[in-house]
Amino acid sequence: LARMERFFLEKRAECLLFAHPNAHPYDSDLIVTDRENRVTGFDSKHNVRTGWQDNLVNAGIYILSRDMLRRVPEVKKTDFEKEILAPMAAAGEAIYAYRSPEYVKDVGTVDRIRAAEEEWKSGFPAKRNLEFPQRAVFLDRDGVINRYNGFVRTPDELELLPEAAEGLRRLNSSAYLTIVVSNQPVVARGETSEAELATIFNKMKTLLGREGAFVDDVFYCPHHPDSGFPGEVKELKIDCDCRKPKTGMLRRAAERYHLDLSACYLVGDTTGDIQCGKNAGVRTVLVKTGEAGRDGKYAVTPDLVADDLAAAATKILEEQ
């Protein structure tokens, strides 16, 4: 809550919502945000949804400015989200989402409250407190979560691998955060805009959510060091610190989520992924989906080898 309050004050917000991914976004109220985490809209679970959505759920925990109370009618029963927050968001007022991987659960069904009871008994909620060092499984996207058929430039080109959701479900029920770290040079090359890339990632999240799985966060590198592509974005044609095998994405995730990198893993399908993990000091898993290490760019040996993401999750959890 102290961390949430700091974010509220930093953003000079009128209202701050506690937001998180969950395993059932299809029957949850979703939040729509911009890149600065300003709330731009709400997508009710009662809507007929089309397109692809971010898995970002409103947990119903708020920090409000005192001025917000003046907006609430004194005697009228009010739907706070629909009648107050949604018009404010549509008007561009200062409503923000605080994204957190900490333990928040909707227990609105019998199965969900039973699962929460078991997790509470195991001590799992306390382990997800960001006051303590966390552990994560970093995941490459192409060839690990979705089929690798070259660069994905449009949502239509993204197709989940059949074992990906199962692997993520296993990790979602463990002490590990799941964080995507993906090189996306298609942005620098001018083949996909960052807005289009966000839609591609939202398709991934929507498809995973339909199968009861989620990722806690996504980091991507939009840069590319080589010039000469038609339509390329000049300012992104740089030698950055985030393009794997460099470790910028992992280090930023570690700072955001208080990660102990020595207790983390990276799952990838290329030698570049494995070299990135080695550079960051995390344990590495090479999966045989995607390129399966055949790129041969780096002479590096992974700590573990698995057939796919589901098998990788099993090996990680068994090892720990």
| pLDDT tens-place string over residues 278-293 | 999 999 999 999 999 9
Q: What is the structure's pLDDT at 320?
A: 84
pLDDT tops 90 at residue 74 = no
Beta-ladder partners of 268: 286
Read off the pLDDT band of 263 (50, 70, 90): very high
Q: Find the range with the poorest average confidence among 10-19, 61-70, 301-310.
A: 61-70
Q: Quick check: is 239 catalytic?
A: no
Mean pLDDT for 102-113 is 92
Task: Write the pLDDT tens digit of every residue in 137-176.
Answer: 999 999 999 999 899 999 999 999 999 999 999 999 899 9
Q: Please give the Cα distance from 130 to 135 (Å, whole number).
A: 10
Tokens representing residue 25 in the block: 């976004």
Q: Quick check: is 307 catalytic?
A: no
pLDDT tops 90 at residue 14 = yes
Task: Write the pLDDT tens digit of every residue in 181-230.
Answer: 999 999 999 999 999 999 999 999 999 999 999 999 999 999 999 888 88
Mean pLDDT for 232-241 is 95
pLDDT tops 90 at residue 243 = yes
pLDDT tops 90 at residue 128 = no
Q: Please give the Cα distance from 97 to 297 (Å, whole number).
A: 40
Dihedral angle computed from the Cα positions of residues 145, 261, 130 and 12, in that order, rounded to the nearest 10 degrees: -80
With a CB cutoff of 8 Å and minimum separation 6, the contacts of 126 are 132
| Cis before 225? omega within 30 | no
Q: What is the structure's pLDDT at 76?
A: 82
Q: Find the range with the poorest average confidence among 48-52, 212-216, 242-246.
A: 48-52
Given the residues 29, 140, 269, 308, select the one marked as catalytic. Answer: 140
Reduced to 3 states (helix: H, G, I; strand: E, B; else coil), residue 206 is helix
pLDDT tops 90 at residue 13 = yes
Q: What is the structure's pLDDT at 61?
A: 94
Given the residues 29, 43, 142, 273, select the one marked as catalytic. Answer: 142
At residue 164, what is the residue type?
A: A
Reduced to 3 states (helix: H, G, I; strand: E, B; else coil), residue 134 is strand
Beta strands in the chain (DSSP E): 15-20, 30-33, 39-43, 57-64, 95-99, 135-139, 176-183, 217-221, 265-268, 283-287, 304-306
Q: What is the structure's pLDDT at 69?
A: 85
What the chain holds in terms of domains, given with CATH numbers, is 2-99 (3.90.550.10), 133-319 (3.40.50.1000)
Average pLDDT of every residue of the chain:
95
- Rounded to two decimals, the pTM is 0.94
